[in-house]
Amino acid sequence: MTTTTPPTGPLALPSGEEPRRNPLGAFARPTATAGWRSWMTSVDHKRIGIMYGAASLFFLLIGGFEALLIRVQLAQPDGQLLSADAYNQIYTMHGTTMIFLVVMPIGAAFMNYLIPLQIGARDVAFPRLNALSFWTFMGGGIVLNSSWLLGGGADGGWFNYAPNNGVVFSPSHGIDFWNMGLLITGIASLVGAINLIVTCLNLRAPGMTFFKMPVFTWMGLVTQFLLLFAIPVLTAAQFLLLFDRLFGARFFDTSAGADPLLWEHLFWIFGHPEVYIMILPAFGVISEIMPTFSRKPIFGYPFMIFSGIAIGFMGWGVWAHHMFASGVGPLSVAAFSVSTMFIAVPTGVKIFNWLATMWGGRLKFSAPMLYSVGLVTMFTIGGLSGVTHAVAASDTQQTDTYYIVAHFHYVLFGGALFGFIGGWYFWWPKVFGYVLNDRVGKVNFWILLIGFNLTFGPMHILGLQGMPRRIYSYRDGYGFNLWNFVSTVGAFIIAVSFLIFFWNIVRSRRAHVRSGATMVADPWDARSLEWSVPSPTPAHNFDVVPTIRRLDDFWHRKYQEDAGGKLVRVATSEEVAQPGNGEGVHLPSPSYWPLVLSAGFPFVAWGLIFNLWLCLVGGILVVAAIYGWVLEPSTAPEAHRGSDDHDPDDHPAPTDDGAAATPEEAALVD
Amino acid sequence: MTETTLSDELDDARALEQRSERAAAYADGPDGHDHHATNTGISNPKLAMWVFLGSECLLFGGLISTFLLYKHNNQAGGPTPHELYDIELTSISSFVLLMSSLTMVLAVSAIQRGEHSRLRLWLATTAILGATFIAGQVYEFQVFVKEGLGFTTNAAGSAFFALTGFHGVHVSLGIVMLLSALVLSLAGRIPQARAEAVEIVGLYWHFVDVVWVLIFTVVYLIP
């Protein structure tokens, strides 16, 4: 039942047989667990989660810089910083970067790190595929942003509506980079989704039934199903666009009678579930934080789960509300208007469950809790303006104005990003072994909250005044000046708040090193399984895979009801954590092939744009890596040392003395 | 939700018991050590293939919708696919493809019984039937181009070639998988205990066939 077994593919050798030498001996599985090479070849879900987080922070800097350029341009009338063309590229790339390279991968970072820990697994179902998913995502991000160096970014908006996305209206290669970059990140999402779905379905610890899984893992699972079914629709649309732009097909050629609504439909059938792909993991994050800092179980656990599933299903039935102004006909407009209002019901269920979780709890407003409450309030504001978009009559007034810019920033920044930042403060000690300074975290929160509301609050007013979005400049005298200036000031305050966050990381780490203290496993007195293991999490996750008897099992081993029904503490988290040192735990060895395989994709993309010979390079890399991957021995020969007598399928026996293996030796089998 | 009643505890105990029984059943199965006891009882690779095929449905769904939208659209000139179909030819190649599902089943059942030469025979036959189908498709494409309907002629042509072409690429990848399995079998790397590898290739192959049934109906049979 554990995930420790080396044979990871159907073609791996039967256990008991000596692994054969790799026919390409130079590419034998590496064993290093330290140094930069170990990160490039790592297949550990925790390291991949950390890399996803680091990469998304890097792209956040790029996307944030683009946002500041937009705000500086619009700070006063007749802004001269950017030309119309440059402005088109920057707002397109800002939206694309923030959605595909920041919010989605931050969610992936949390899900990769936490889901195996929360369900009591040693790793994901396919560790190498997990690494492939990360490196492929990086490849897509590089292709997308390489456009800045190779002739300019996409300029059609993050949705790139037809026919503006055709070569007639956008003759530069910007949209090709957009198209290929997102096709590649799509592969990454799909591979990751398959991996995490199989992990959740197959690798839960004994006793961890579906309705004992933590809410975060549940929301992650729903998100992965959304990705699984939404990404291929975008992929289909993007292939059509690719054929149009590079091979002269007629899918979006309106002069040849093509229907531009085809792109809008395919795009939004992907694009609306995408909204929930971004927000559901953040909902999951605060569903872990709220009970911990309210000292109460989550209120209405089954309602939390079923409302998440309902959001997942209903997300597919509302896509055309993005198209009320596109002329889809009165019947469609009415139907999608109604279905859109219905989706507010499960979302409202969640909001009220969070409130009820806090109700009567012993609330502690540490930084993670502040961000969670921030999510609930900001998301509710965004939800209310969302209802005005669901009403088609008001939507046609508001659409393509700054009102909608305000709406989706309240939902995705005030919602998803607030939740994720709260998650950073919450899980930082688990991942890196030191707590971020709470007082700085609170300052960070209030500055972010003020900056956020100064930036996006006035956009409601600008929108209702009629200021159109996607316009690079405006004249004096329309009444737009004041609120645009306020909004720009707010954007810089947001930037300052992120600098405070980075400063907090450095400062807290220094303070931790200076104090020389060891990190406790469970600093928040939390509820789910990941807090039962040491901080930072050891490579093998659990010394002994736990057996689960009830929801919040870890909590209930720390607290039990006395005769009067009152919860009393019966054990510390150290007492609850099982003894052992991971002796005999087999984990798959690192591998070069995910990196090599994903390095092929950018070359194929650049080749299609510039020179088909590059496609050959990419193709060779991909095919060689696939065969190397399949034929790779299931584990590095050296990694067998000292643990040959263990059947890897067995649970390792708990050890009492811990003398059998040093931590270094345990790390060798990683 | 945190209160655990007696019946909850009993449910838990029963579930745990069932799980360990299921795990034991797998450990003692005919192909023994090969399976890990997973929560679902389905191995990770096989479940992954099922999940992947679920997402493929949406890819083909998008392409089929596109075809349905454009199938009569020849506003840029040229014929539409419907004016050019040779139903007899396509029926025969469809039949060939469906027969390949039968030979795939025979391949899986051969390796499950440990009959390696049968496995190789049926794998090769499946690959040849698939290749025959692809040959028919290439011939059809070439006739269409000769008759004046290319990929770039009109929207209907683009939609037709994209949909059937994507299916053709899927079949071709399937053939590569079959041939790889054949080579691995010859190298002795598919013992009976690894029958599941062939079964997983088979899942993919059957999916591609089933999708063709849908495409054949939607594209060729419905006017």
pLDDT digits (tens, 9 = 90+) for A322-372: 999 998 999 999 999 999 999 999 999 999 999 999 999 999 999 999 999
Query: What's the confidence (pLDDT) of residue A566?
Result: 81
Nearest to A14 among B23, B191, B200 (CB): B191
Which pLDDT tens digit goes with each residue over A30-69? 877 788 889 999 999 999 999 999 999 999 999 999 999 9
- CB count, 10 Å around CB of A472? 18
Cα A71 to chain centroid distance, Å, stands at 26
Q: CA A183, CA B57: separation in Å to the nearest integer?
A: 17
Q: Looking at CA atoms only, how far is residue A667 from chain B in angstroms? A: 24
**Prior bond of A534 cis (ω within 30°):** no
Q: Do A206 and B1 touch (CB under 8 A)?
A: no
Q: Looking at CA atoms only, how far is residue A298 from chain B in angstroms? A: 8
Share of chain A above pLDDT 70, in %: 90
Query: What's the confidence (pLDDT) of residue A1?
Result: 38
3-state helix, strand, coil in chain B (%, to 5): 80, 0, 20
Q: Under DSSP, is residue A560 helix (H, G, I), strand (E, B) or coil? A: strand
Q: Residue A4 pLDDT more than 70? A: no
Q: Under DSSP, is residue A387 helix (H, G, I), strand (E, B) or coil? A: helix
Which pLDDT tens digit goes with each residue over B152-203? 999 999 999 999 999 999 999 999 999 999 999 999 989 999 999 999 999 9
Query: What's the confidence (pLDDT) of residue A35?
Result: 84
Q: Do B8 and A259 touch (CB under 8 A)?
A: no
Q: Is B200 on the interface with A (CB under 8 A)?
A: yes
Predicted structure pTM score: 0.90
Please say whether the beta carbons of A235 and A227 come within 8 A. Answer: no
Q: CA A232, CA A194: separation in Å to the nearest integer?
A: 13
Q: Residue A664 pLDDT more than 90? A: no
Please say whether the beta carbons of A669 and A643 come within 8 A. Answer: yes
Q: Do A236 and B16 touch (CB under 8 A)?
A: no
In one-letter notation, the amino acid at residue A190 is L
Substitution target from B8, B14, B35, B59 for chain A, most A beta carbons within 10 A: B59
Instruction: Using an 8 Å CB-CB cutoff, list chain A residues near B75.
Output: 256-257
Nearest to B76 among A239, A244, A257 (CB): A257
Q: Do A198 and B44 touch (CB under 8 A)?
A: yes
In one-letter notation, the amino acid at residue A670 is D
In one-letter notation, the amino acid at residue A310 is A
Query: What's the confidence (pLDDT) of residue A3?
Result: 38
Angle between helices A344-358 and A330-342 (to 10 degrees): 20
Residue B17 makes CB contacts below 8 A (sequence gap 6+) with none
Tokens of A242: 């690719």
Q: CA B152, CA A294: separation in Å to the nearest integer?
A: 62
Q: What is the average pLDDT across A283-304?
A: 96
User: Which residue of chain A comes nearest to B155, CA vs CA?
Assistant: A250
Per-residue pLDDT band at B63 (split at 50, 70, 90): very high
Q: Residue A300 pLDDT more than 80? A: yes
Cα A441 to chain centroid distance, Å, stands at 22
**Prior bond of A163 cis (ω within 30°):** yes
